[in-house]
Structure 1
Amino acid sequence: MYYVKNQRNGKEIHDPRINLAIEYYLLNEVELDEPILLFYINDNSIIVGRNQNTYEEVNTSYVDENDVTVVRRFSGGGAVYHDMGVLNFCFLTKDDGNSFRDFKKFTSPVIDALHQMGVEGAELRGRNDLVIDGKKFSGNAMYAKNNRLTAHGTLMFDSEIEAVVKALKPKKHKLESKGIKSIRSRVTNIKPYLDDSYQFMNAKDFRDKLLLYIFDTDKSEDIKEYVLKDEDWVKIEAFAEQYTANWDWNYGKSPSFDTERSERLSVGTVEVKMNVRKGKIEDIRIFGDFFGMGEIEDVEKDLQGIPYTREAITRALKDIDTQTYFGNVEIDELVDLLY
């Protein structure tokens, strides 16, 4: 495995727009003979999932007042808050056809390392959360394209939890489905659970220690690296300009709709906004924190223009590979949501 430092001219980068651009540049343009590991720590920011409605996930007034950067990633899942106390990890590898949504495969190295540092209660729970004593410290997501796969996640090491609470706007039914009353009650940092010998660490120290555990070495010199070159940075900056630093990509247009539905399904939250005219679906947008492999716009196009009847919606969905776009969902769940 190769490790990539998010450094340019010896200086570490904390801009989320550039760090996410590095990640997707590595996914799309750099194919090495072994998997790649990337770590990065971002300044205050919110990273929303590929299929989410940014305005409904983010507390915009808090974001504006506190200079929080909002960036949309390419993977599904929910919105997460980043600050200098959050370590982000990313594994990039060939897509073997069996690993998408297999979060255990990619989070096990992190959990094993935490166990060695004294966090005995760290475990994967649910579809993609890492928890300690039932409290979440890591959310994970995946994205696959052109036979390549990225599996990435957050590690709340010493984050400002109060900022997390104020910056995000979780759906009410999402909280209820987990049997909790607030974000504050279900998230935690890693640092308080570490052995005493690790209490001196900040997020960067934690990253360096985690690297040694993952690469099974006592010396950082033994870690194999891929160093970003000038030609890499040209493409990274172009990618950021087109996507991660682009307002249209991060927020997108939000037209008005006359029908809105949102439910917590077996694959996560799915939200639908529609305009129905003369008995047909004239326009439709689908949002959510589900993990899909395809572009949800393909599903929207297949539903657009069909009669707004249960029968027509069922027929259309049966012609769509819903497992690919949404995950392990029953068609009846989607029909009930749409109609």
Structure 2
Amino acid sequence: MRYINVESTDPAFNHALEEYFLKESDAEYFILWRNASCVLLGKNQNAYAEIDLEYVRRHGLSVVRRITGGGTVFNDLGNMNFAYIVNDDAGSKRVFSSFEPFTQPIISALRFLGVNAELTGRNDITVSGKKISGNAQARTHHRILHHGTLLFSANMSDLSAALKTRPEKFQGKAVKSVSGRVANICDFLAEPMDIHSFRSYLIEYLMEHDSNSMPYVLTGHDEEQIGRLAQRKYATWEWNFGKSPDSEFAHTKKFPGGLIDVHFDLINASLCNVRLWGDFFGQEDIVKLEKTLEGARYEYASVAKRLNTLDINDYCANITRGQLCELLLDDSPQAGGGSDRKETGN
């Protein structure tokens, strides 16, 4: 595995770098970097529902959309980001939506420092019930990108203010504030360490425990191609914000597979301008699912018939067709539905 210690703190460049090595190389990589203050959106999320735009603009925070699913995170120079880019080989434990193989080396490195870290929930690393790392994935052409945050000495007031709290995500939980659920790694260290020392320690530890490790330095060609991708995609309004949903209907619900917001217009009793947002994971582009729903009659049978043409798990992992139908129809009786509804599988 090639280890890249990225000096750039430009979030657009750094996330273009991930996509570049994911799609333009067959080699496997571990990448470590920091971002200047920014908000990172999940691939399927609605920027206007997830962030406090006034605060972001007032403080000059960048907003960058990732190519991975999952939720919105705040980054500053007190946060370390890591990424694994690997081949999805047959028989390998490193498969899409499996988080343990990628988080375990990080957890081991933290435990060596006396930090009692563990993988909890879908995709979080926690210490004493506090989240110190969120993780997300993308898959393309039999290659997997797994990346995560490591809150080391992040500014918690900025983190809390930049992100909107979504009540649907915390059903049954007493603590609902962002700052109340997260913590910095530095607070759990037995001996003081700054983020630069932590960065050096982390990459040295991981390389020492990887018999196939080798450092990799970006070439001039790499930097040129990554820079072009950053400007063409990750630095643009079109990618990061797109058109905000201007919908007559908006339904939100949290499922075991994640939170989904659905927005749509209802024209002549049919679905139009369908948009799906949320922190769910999926290996296929959600646009195909949205287009499949276009023109469906606003009734359970018609929506279910459209969804039956797709493997929903490819777009919204761990969310069933029946759950999507009920979300779209807001679980209310519709003509042709009623008591005849049946679960249609994944």
Q: Give the alignment's TM-score, normalised by structure 1.
A: 0.93
**SS of residue paired to 1:232:** helix
Q: Does 1:210 align with 2:202?
A: yes
Instruction: Judge which range, 89-98 or 57-66, deviates more.
Output: 89-98
Aligned partner of 1:297 in structure 2 is: 287
Q: Which amino acid aligns with 1:114?
A: L
**SS of residue paired to 1:42:** coil
Question: Contact 1:14–1:41 at 8 Å: present in 2 too?
Answer: yes
Question: Contact 1:85–1:202 at 8 Å: present in 2 too?
Answer: no
Over the aligned positions, Cα root-mean-square deviation in angstroms equals 1.5
Aligned partner of 1:104 in structure 2 is: 100
Deviation (angstroms), 1:93: 0.6
Question: Contact 2:83–2:145 at 8 Å: present in 1 too?
Answer: yes
Question: Contact 1:165–1:183 at 8 Å: present in 2 too?
Answer: yes
1:191-217 residue CA offsets vs partner (Å, 9 max, x unmatched) = 111122xx1x22221111011211127
Deviation (angstroms), 1:247: 1.1
Residues of 1 paired with 2:286 and 2:174: CA distance? 29
Residues of 1 paired with 2:245 and 2:138: CA distance? 27
Q: Which amino acid aligns with 2:9?
A: H
Aligned partner of 1:57 in structure 2 is: 50
Q: Which amino acid aligns with 2:157?
A: E
Q: Which amino acid aligns with 1:185?
A: G
Question: Contact 2:245–2:263 at 8 Å: present in 1 too?
Answer: no
Aligned partner of 2:327 in structure 1 is: 337
**SS of residue paired to 1:243:** helix
Aligned partner of 1:3 in structure 2 is: 3
Residues of 1 paired with 2:227 and 2:178: CA distance? 34
Question: Contact 1:175–1:182 at 8 Å: present in 2 too?
Answer: no
Residues of 1 paired with 2:113 and 2:219: CA distance? 34
1:283-305 residue CA offsets vs partner (Å, 9 max, x unmatched) = 20000000100000000110001
Q: Does 1:160 align with 2:152?
A: no
Counting aligned pairs with the same residue, the percent is 36
Q: Which amino acid aligns with 1:286?
A: L
Aligned partner of 1:30 in structure 2 is: 25
Aligned ranges 1:48-127 → 2 under 5 Å: 48-96=41-89, 99-120=95-116, 122-127=117-122
Aligned length: 325
Residues of 2 paired with 1:73 and 1:170: CA distance? 20
Deviation (angstroms), 1:179: 3.8
Aligned partner of 1:9 in structure 2 is: none
Q: Give the alignment's TM-score, normalised by structure 2.
A: 0.91
**SS of residue paired to 2:70:** coil
Aligned partner of 1:39 in structure 2 is: 32
Residues of 2 paired with 1:17 and 1:102: CA distance? 26
Residues of 2 paired with 1:170 and 1:243: CA distance? 28
1:165-211 residue CA offsets vs partner (Å, 9 max, x unmatched) = 00001211112354422112110011111122xx1x22221111011
1:235-284 residue CA offsets vs partner (Å, 9 max, x unmatched) = 10111112111111001111411000011111110010010111111220
**SS of residue paired to 1:274:** strand
Residues of 2 paired with 1:48 and 1:256: CA distance? 19
Equivalent position to 1:235, from 196, 211, 225: 225
**SS of residue paired to 1:90:** strand
The structure-2 alpha-carbon separation of the partners of 1:177 and 1:15, relative to structure 1 and needing over 3 Å to count, comes to farther
Residues of 2 paired with 1:229 and 1:216: CA distance? 24
